[in-house]
Amino acid sequence: MAWYHLNEKTDEKLAFFNSLSTIGIRSRARDRLRTIMAKNLKMFFDSDGSPRARGPSSEKLLMAFLEEDVQGSDHICHDLMDDVTAIEDESAESREFIGNAHSVVITAEGVTIRCTIEDPDDEPDEAAATGASTGTDSDLPKLYETGLKHFREVLEDWEAFILDDQSPA
């Protein structure tokens, strides 16, 4: 399983990127590694080759959105980043994306991701009545909000990850 996150080899990667002769490439790659460091994101391909994301519990819905809606599509990443750009340069007031399991609304105030699938296990039962966790997707929040900058950075990281070599190192 190939992991795309910071580990023991981070210093080696930074040294390699610092040795690149093209300043733009070096700067962008180093900034990307630092961004991933700051977010503490783990991105990896599972045994079926599907991209997966893990991160802070406060961003579970964002990670589910990446896995279930963006998946391995750099085209969706580009479209969403274009939507963010349209909001930032004020050529649009809002943009919306509807995916397999989530909808996204992008406005100048930020990005809202909403889970659009109903979990059949959401029926009231004894576990729900007592507040016990069932360990299912129903444990995921139904709404996530973030700023435009953070959303763009996560999409850029996801795009770099899915375009990276998927074979184990």
Inform me whether the pLDDT recorded for 22 exceeds 80.
no
Inform me whether the pLDDT recorded for 18 exceeds 70.
no
Looking at residues 162-166, what average pLDDT do you find?
A: 73
Residue 132 vs residue 124, higher pLDDT: 124
pTM (predicted TM-score): 0.66
In terms of Cβ atoms closer than 10 Å to its own Cβ (0-12, 13-18, 19+), residue 14 is middle
Locate all alpha helices (DSSP H) within 20-169, ordered by sequence.
Answer: 23-39, 60-65, 74-88, 126-130, 148-163
Whole-number pLDDT of residue 104: 97
pLDDT (tens digit per residue) in 74-122: 999 999 999 999 999 999 999 999 999 999 999 999 999 999 987 655 5
Whole-number pLDDT of residue 147: 94
Whole-number pLDDT of residue 39: 60
Inform me whether the pLDDT recorded for 15 exceeds 80.
no
Distances (CA, A) of 38 to 5, 6, 150, 154: 11, 10, 11, 11
- Quick count: other Cβ atoms within 10 Å of Cβ 43? 23
Inform me whether the pLDDT recorded for 11 exceeds 90.
no
Range in 66-75, 149-158, 160-169 with the lowest mean pLDDT: 160-169
Looking at residues 146-160, what average pLDDT do you find?
A: 93
Residue 67 vs residue 7, higher pLDDT: 67
Whole-number pLDDT of residue 7: 42
Output 62-66 pairs: Cβ under 8 A, ≥24 positions apart: 62/113, 62/144, 62/146, 62/154, 64/101, 64/102, 64/115, 64/137, 64/140, 65/99, 65/101, 65/102, 65/104, 65/113, 65/144, 66/154, 66/158
pLDDT (tens digit per residue) in 25-68: 544 554 454 444 446 788 999 998 899 999 888 999 999 999 99
